[in-house]
Amino acid sequence: MDSITINELEVFLRVGVPDAERATPQRLLLTVELSLDTRAGAAADDLQQTVDYFALYQRLRTMGTDREWRLIETLAKDVAAVALEHPLVQSVQVEVQKFILPGTRNVAVRIARTRA
């Protein structure tokens, strides 16, 4: 299986358990790895036969404009669902990095989801 990865996409979203933490958007990094067969798109050199990662990038950048999450686990699940909307994506791994704990580089959750 081939993969397309968007590494550490910077987004600003409202995430956190306390209301005060969700009061303003905070910086997060999203890594989204799509598993798919890229042979048809590569053979034809045709974007229509693969995943348009720019379109996915745009969707991920705007997905939090009208909502908030309490848990980064829930955000990761929602990001995975967006990626799996594309019919060629067989599975996806999502990592969400949050910069909330002093003295740490970040806190992260990583999930894997497969097309049902």
- In whole angstroms, give the CA distance from residue 109 to residue 32: 12
DSSP letter at 86 equals S
Percent of the chain with pLDDT over 90: 97
**If pLDDT is split at 50, 70 and 90, which confidence band does 61 have?**
very high
pLDDT of residue 116: 80
28: closest CA among 91, 85, 100, 80?
100
pLDDT digits (tens, 9 = 90+) for 36-55: 999 999 999 999 999 999 99
Which residues, 6+ apart, have CB-to-CB distance to 18 below 8 Å?
none
pLDDT of 104 > 90? The answer is yes
> Which residue's entry shows tokens 């909502």?
67
**If pLDDT is split at 50, 70 and 90, which confidence band does 12 have?**
very high
Q: Which CATH number fits domain 2-114: 3.30.930.10, 3.30.1130.10, 3.20.20.70, 3.90.1150.10?
A: 3.30.1130.10
Looking at every residue in the chain, the average pLDDT score rounds to 97
Q: Whole-prediction pTM value?
A: 0.96
Do the Cβ atoms of 6 and 57 come closer than 8 Å? yes
- Stretch 79-98: mean pLDDT, rounded? 98
- In whole angstroms, give the CA distance from residue 87 to residue 89: 6
Specify the 3-state DSSP secondary structure of 109: strand
pLDDT digits (tens, 9 = 90+) for 21-37: 999 999 999 999 999 99
- Give the alpha-carbon dihedral of 110, 70, 63, 78, to 10 degrees: 50
What does the domain layout of the chain look like in residue ranges? 2-114
**Cα-trace Rg, the chain:** 15
